Structures are given as structure tokens and as C-alpha cells.
Amino acid sequence: MRLVQAMVGRETPFTHPVTVGRAPVKWGIRRQPSWEWLNQMCTRLYFAGRRNLPITETLAAAAMAVLLVGLGAARTAFAQESPAAEYDLVIRGGQVVDGTGNPWFTGDVAVRGDRIARVERKVAGRGKREIDASGLVVAPGFIDMHSHSDTLLLEDGRAESKIRQGVTTEILGEGSSAGPLVGKQSPRTVLVAGQPQTWQTLGEYYQVLEQSQTSVNVASYCGLDNIWQAVMGQSHERPTTDQIAAMKEHLAGAMDDGAMGLSTMLAMPPGSLATTDELVELSRVVAERGGIYSTHNRNEGTEVLAAIREAIEIGERAGVPVDIIHVKIADQKLWGRMSEIVALIEAARARGVNVQTNVYPYTRGNNNLASIIPPWAHEGGKGALVARLRSPEDRARMKRDIRSGIDGWYNHFTAVGGDWSRMLVSGNGPWEGLTMDRVIALKTKDQSPDSPHSADSLDVLFDLLIEADGSIPTVYAHHTEEDMRLALVQPWCSIGSDGSAYAIEGPLRRGNPHPRNFGTFPRVLGHYVRETKVLRLEDAVRKMTSLNAAKLGIADRGVLRAGAFADVAIFDPATVIDRSTYTAPFAYNDGIEYVMVNGQVVLEKGKHTGAKPGRVIRRGVE
């Protein structure tokens, strides 16, 4: 028995044949012999003893049989008394959608530490914890390709509205980013756990984020506005060659801090001030460092096709991958022409230009009432804008430009046909949740017919912006379901919410935000996969996971495979759906059951665990 105990868990090789009775038996490596085999061996031993057959072989066989029986018994007892867990977590029996686009299969996912150890139809070995995923889909955690949670994550690192969608990684940055804030810009200070935290560079922002801790992973672009205003301030003057060189230095510094690339918002100043040539020059800095150019096009309305061509040109000339943010046709004059955008992108890709897009699954966009104001009126910042809004001469000029348009300027007012009912105030304030036609009616109901502004709704707009210090976030109903769906199904179009990590209670319940902040990813899975069957499940998951990771060059996230980081979303395909609406946005979705970030459970049966295992993802580090 001591021999048996000593050999528990070991393999004992016997490579030569032995004889039991007159029957030769070849012994090899065995871990757990079957009871049928052991019964046969014992029977042979019994008759060998009765017939006085050669004892040497008999004893060898008997010893081996006893050893194997003992070994099996010892292992059985060991397993019953104190089973050793090989993994920290095993997810059992789920419908595994691995993020690659391959067909799902029923299987297990084993996690050890922060990495996936195995993805198999049946994982042998136990986990310290096991989750029964029968009837549920097991997918990689979703990567939100376009997010604005920069400071909200410092206010509340739990990222409630994102985690509850299955999002495990947020990609920050558009026109602006959390850093750099250098040169003619001021450092940023935010209260984190009641204590002021200040930063200037993107690297310093990352450090503040890591110290405060988050439930989601975070990566960021460097925003064009940051490096432009670091050099030019609030001026609308043309930059000199030396000033462009200074911008390039700031961009290189942000890239060295881990930025994923350069992001732009070209529809409004200061981004709209940059020429195509200047954007190419800046993007070459990104290309040299293996980054990506991400752009909110210069014009999503009547000149959207020219704007798509510009994005392609920048990628082609700079040699940099391009991702077009929330591709859409946001002017009713061009509705129904998404096929032309698709054709432009396909032609570019056919000649070797890596241009792709992302989209959110809604037909309304979020911007600002200030975007109705012509670009020239924004020079000098919000203070200068408000001063011009008070000037009768400037107001008259603004009205002409708003109603008649300016070449190259995307005009939100004319994009929706001047229909105030298609503008919903989403920002915090007295008018939140109301459409602008209702706001105008309320503002003018007691107005005297002799008022100088009584006949002009644009005067109400100007007055509202003065009261709000030049900024009122607003949702615009400006594109169509048909155009959005055509973009959505393209193999190079991924998912990004263009939203932030809000909450349904506490300080992050504020304003009347776009429902995409709460429902983007469940909406794709519930409405566009299950209900309308616009997408296959596997394709939808790929658009939310590995496609985004591939765009950014993140190798070990966005897929379920051994060695990848254990970012996992588990959801019920029969019930997953968004619940947030434009008029009642503060609602979490249904059907997201579990979320793991870097191997730790952050959402369990729909409840946040409070865990904050998120990490900063720096370009080239993971």
C-alpha cells in the first residue's frame, strides 16, 4: 500500500510483454484501467494459480494488477476528498461564439489567472469556480470602438452602462482626447474619490486612470483638437510649417505614451480648420508608429461622398489604416445613397487602401445645438461665441449662413430640413428631454407680438445658447434605417456606441442622453440578430470583438482562444435586448448575464460585483 500511495498521480511504463497463464499481455502506460480489464486480469490470475502455471510471470502480473487497482482506488478517494482545481474558472456547456466569425459550438472555456487556458468541447479538470452556461452564448467581451467615457470613468470606475452591455474595453477619443493638454492648453483637473487629480499628457491621464481603477479596459487615440490647440490656441489662423512640425511633436509624444493613433472631428472647429494636406502630414507620424487614423468625416450631409474620398486619400497618401467613425448619410437630400459610400470603400480596399468603418445601430445622432452656428462664429472659444450671439449684426449674419449654408460646412439645421421636432435636447438643464419645437413654443408662449425676435425661431436658439454658455447637447434625427443597415452588414464595418459610461442612479444619472449609451450592443444582438435577422450571431459578435481588435492591432483580446486575455461576455440569445429609449434613456438592458474582465467576474447574473480589474491598453505593449 505504501508503494501504491507513493505512485498516486505518476505514470509507470512497462514496455515488455509478460505472460499470465499462456496468454501474453503487453503493458503500456495506463492511468486508469477499466474495471472490465481488471476483472479479466484477476480471472487469469485465479486460474493460473489453480493450474500451477509459471509463477514469475504470474507474480509480475499480480503485482501490476494490485498496483493498478490500488492506484485507481487511491485516485478515486483523492478526487472525492480534496479535488485539485486546475483552473480559476471554467464556463461549462455554453454556445461558444469565439469572435472570429466561425460557427458556434457547444463547449467549455477555462480561465487561469487573467488568461484563457482552454477553449474546447469538453475541458477536463476542475475550476475553483464553475459557471453553467447551458442555453447561453459565451463570447469575447465586447470592444466599444468609439467611446467618450474619458472623465466619467474617473467619477465612477464601475462603467455601469458599458459593463451591463457586455463591453470590456473602451476606445476613447474623437476630435479631442484626455491628453495631451500642453502648450496653449490648460491642464485638466478632475475630482477622483474626492481628491483633485491633474494631468497634462496622455501618459499622465493613463496613470490617473490606473490609480483610480476601472471595471473596463481602456485605450485612447490622440485627438487632433488637442495637438492643434496646443499650438494654435483658439485662433483660426493658418498654421505655419513650424507650427505643423510642433503639432507632429505633440502627436509623436502621445503615440509614445501609448495612443492608438490620431482621431479627428472635422465637422467643426478646430478640426475643420485642418486641410487634407495637413492631415496627411500628421498621419505620417501615426503610420511610422504602427497606428491608425480614425475620423469623424468633414461632412456627413450633402458632401458626404467628398468627405469619404478625403478619408481614403489621407489613408492612401500617408500609408495609414483608416476607420471612419459612425458612417452615415445625415442629410435627407442624400438619403438612400449608402451604396455609393460602400462602392467607394470597396474600390479603395481593392487597390490596397485599408479603410474601414464603424456604426451605431440607431438612426439619430448626438451633437450640439452649437453645431448649427457657422464655423466662423466659434473662433476664440465659447466666450467669443456667446459675445457674437449677443451682437445684432452677428446674429443677422448667422441667420443668413444657417439658412443658405456655407460651402463645405455640414449644416445640422438644413440636414433635418429645418424641422425643430427632429432635435431632442439631451444635455443637463431645464429643457432636457424636450424636442426643440416644444422648447420654442414654451419660450415664446408669453412673448409680445412686438418683440424683435417674435417671428424667428433662430433667435430662440441663439438665446438658449447664451443662457447655456454656448453648449446644449442635442440628438438629431438625421439618417435612415435603410442606409444604416446597408453599412452595418459590410464585412469591414464594426460596432461603436459613440456613448459614455453613465448609470441609472447616482451622479452619473444626468441629462437626457442618447439611448446608445445604454443599449448599443444588446440592440445589435436582440434586434438585428434575433428579431430582424439582419446579421448572423457569429458575424455580429465578430463586429463587436475581433474586428475592432484587429483594426487597433490588439492581438490578445477580442477572441476566445488559449492565451488570450480572459475578457468574456455571457448572454441569453433568447432575451438579450436594449431597454433605453430617447425619452426614457436611463434603463439597463436584458439578457447580459455575466461579464469577465481579465479573468475576474464583474457582472454576475445581471448585478455588478464592484470589481475593477480593467487595465490601460497602450499601443504596442499588449
Distance from C-alpha of 396 to C-alpha of 613, rounded to nearest angstrom: 54
In degrees to the nearest 10, what's the CA dihedral of 507, 512, 513, 517? Answer: 70
pLDDT above 90 covers a percentage of the chain that reads 80
Residue partners of 34: CB distance under 8 A and separation at least 6: none
Instruction: Render pLDDT for 478-487 as a digit per residue (tens, 0 to 9).
Output: 999 999 999 9
Residue partners of 507: CB distance under 8 A and separation at least 6: 155, 156
Sheet strands (E) in 501-604? 568-571, 592-597, 600-604
CA nearest neighbour of 360 among 324, 332, 403: 324
Distance from C-alpha of 110 to C-alpha of 116, rounded to nearest angstrom: 6
CA angle, 512 then 323 then 101, to 5°: 95
Distances in Å between the Cα of 609 and the Cα atoms of 158, 297, 594 are 9, 39, 10
Q: Name the 3-class secondary structure at 111.
A: strand
CATH 3.20.20.140 positions along the chain are: 140-363+479-608
Q: Name the 3-class secondary structure at 23.
A: strand
Distance from C-alpha of 226 to C-alpha of 331, rounded to nearest angstrom: 29
Specify the DSSP element, H or E, that contains 228. Answer: helix 224-232
pLDDT grade, residue 67 (50/70/90)?
Answer: very low
Query: What integer is the mean pLDDT of 493-502?
Result: 98
pLDDT above 70 covers a percentage of the chain that reads 85
Higher pLDDT, 507 or 49: 507
- 554, with CB counted inside 10 A (0-12, 13-18, 19+), is buried
Specify the DSSP element, H or E, that contains 397. Answer: helix 392-404
Distance from C-alpha of 425 to C-alpha of 358, rounded to nearest angstrom: 25
Look at residue 83 in the predicted model and tell me its pLDDT.
56
Instruction: Render pLDDT for 205-264 as a digit per residue (tens, 0 to 9).
Output: 999 999 999 999 999 999 999 999 999 999 999 999 999 999 999 999 999 999 999 999
Q: Name the 3-class secondary structure at 40.
A: helix
Q: What is the DSSP string of 299-325?
A: -SSTTHHHHHHHHHHHHHHHT--EEET
Instruction: Render pLDDT for 87-102 as a digit per residue (tens, 0 to 9).
Output: 999 999 999 999 999 9
Question: DSSP class of residue 423?
Answer: E
Distance from C-alpha of 213 to C-alpha of 210, rounded to nearest angstrom: 5
Residue 270, preceding bond cis, omega within 30 degrees? Answer: yes
For residues 286 and 257, the answer to whether their CB atoms sit within 8 Å is no
**Superfamily holding 140-363+479-608:** Metal-dependent hydrolases (3.20.20.140)
Residue 60: pLDDT over 90: no
Cell numbers representing residue 318 in the block:
500617408
Region at 397 (left for phi over 0; alpha for psi -120 to 50; beta for the rest): alpha
- Count of residues for the chain? 622
Question: DSSP class of residue 365?
Answer: E
CA nearest neighbour of 570 among 99, 45, 107, 136: 136
Residue 2: pLDDT over 50: no
What number of CA atoms fall less than 13 Å from residue 432's CA on the CB side?
A: 16
Tell me the pLDDT of the chain averaged across its residues.
88
Distance from C-alpha of 273 to C-alpha of 375, rounded to nearest angstrom: 9
Instruction: Render pLDDT for 534-572 as a digit per residue (tens, 0 to 9).
Output: 999 999 999 999 999 999 999 999 999 999 999 999 999
CA nearest neighbour of 45 among 67, 19, 72, 68: 19
Residue 49: pLDDT over 90: no
- Please state the φ and ψ torsions of residue 309, each to the nearest 5 degrees: -60, -40
Look at residue 455 in the predicted model and tell me its pLDDT.
61
Distance from C-alpha of 519 to C-alpha of 589, rounded to nearest angstrom: 6
Look at residue 58 in the predicted model and tell me its pLDDT.
41
Q: 394-397: list long-range contacts, CB under 8 Å, 24+ apart.
A: 395/459, 395/462
Instruction: Render pLDDT for 412-457 as a digit per residue (tens, 0 to 9).
Output: 898 899 999 999 999 888 898 999 999 999 998 876 655 544 568 9
Distance from C-alpha of 552 to C-alpha of 225, rounded to nearest angstrom: 21
**Longest CA pairwise span in the chain (Å):** 127
Query: What integer is the mean pLDDT of 582-597?
Result: 96
CA nearest neighbour of 597 among 610, 588, 584, 582: 610
Residue 19: pLDDT over 60: no
For residues 618 and 257, the answer to whether their CB atoms sit within 8 Å is yes
111 CB neighbour count, 10 Å cutoff: 25
- Of 38-47, 449-458, 493-502, which range is least confident? 38-47
Question: DSSP class of residue 558?
Answer: S
Question: DSSP class of residue 464?
Answer: H
For residues 423 and 476, the answer to whether their CB atoms sit within 8 Å is yes
